[in-house]
Amino acid sequence: MKRDASKDREASFVKRISSPDSGASLFDERRFTRYERRVMREPSRHEARGHEHGTAAVEFALLLPLLVLLLFGIVEFGLALYRHQVLATASREGARAGIRQTVPSPTVAEIERVARNVLTQAGVAGAAVVAVTGAGGASGTDLTVTVETPYRFFVLPNTVPGLSGPVILRSRTVMKHE
């Protein structure tokens, strides 16, 4: 059915071109008819996409490195944020242990031990530095617990020049003694 409609359309087009007032000769009509059948007709689905073979593969090949870099960036910054959250939890738990009113008051070593236990349970115990100031103070005074550790990115330093060395992640918690 579609083929018949296209033949009718072709025939009407040829009639218009070869009308006496258009000045086209029989030779022009045959040549134009061949040309129309080959080029001017409505292309099939396969023919319409025929000149685009491989463009999707080329576009994918151009975008793949950027997508992989984006994926690794998301993973690496996610790991860094996780590590920072662990440090925040360790400093907060150390501060909570240090502000309690007990006899005797919690010492710097006990507060550091609580913070290091949190780091060890999360698998971050390596080169973490725990600093405590104000331990054993009077009620209402500040207790500060600072936890810091170096973090080294795995893949991004090879592609992003600013991330070549370790980054120091630091978390500080200040609480008042009870």
* Rounded Cα distance, 169 and 151, in Å: 7
Neighbouring-strand partners of residue 170: 148
> Mean per-residue pLDDT for 123-152?
89
Instruction: Please give the span between the terminal C-alpha atoms of the chain, in angstroms, as a whole number.
Output: 90
Q: Which domain holds residue 109?
A: 75-176
pLDDT at 42: 63
Band (pLDDT 50/70/90 cuts) for residue 170 is: very high
Tokens linked to 56: 């999707």
Q: Which of 13-27, 107-121, 126-140 has the highest mean pLDDT?
A: 107-121
Radius of gyration of the chain (CA): 38
Q: Is the pTM of this model over 0.85?
A: no
* pLDDT, mean of residues 6-35: 54
Instruction: Indicate whether 58 belongs to any domain.
Output: no
pLDDT at 27: 45
Task: Determine the average pLDDT of the residues in 30-51.
Answer: 60
Q: How many domains does the chain have?
A: 1
Examine residue 155 and state whether it is found in any structural domain, yes or no. yes
141 within a domain of the structure (yes/no): yes
Assess if residue 51 is contained within a domain. no
104, part of any domain? yes
Please provide the average confidence, as pLDDT, over all residues in the chain: 80
Confidence of residue 164 (pLDDT cuts 50, 70, 90): confident
Instruction: State the Cα–Cα distance between residues 100 and 176, nearest whole angstrom.
Output: 10
SS3 category, 99: helix
Report the run of H or E that residue 9 belongs to, with start and end: helix 2-17
**Is 80 within a domain?**
yes
User: Could you tell me if residue 84 is inside a domain?
Assistant: yes
pLDDT at 131: 93
Domain membership of residue 18 (yes or no) is: no
Task: Please provide the size of the chain in residues.
Answer: 178
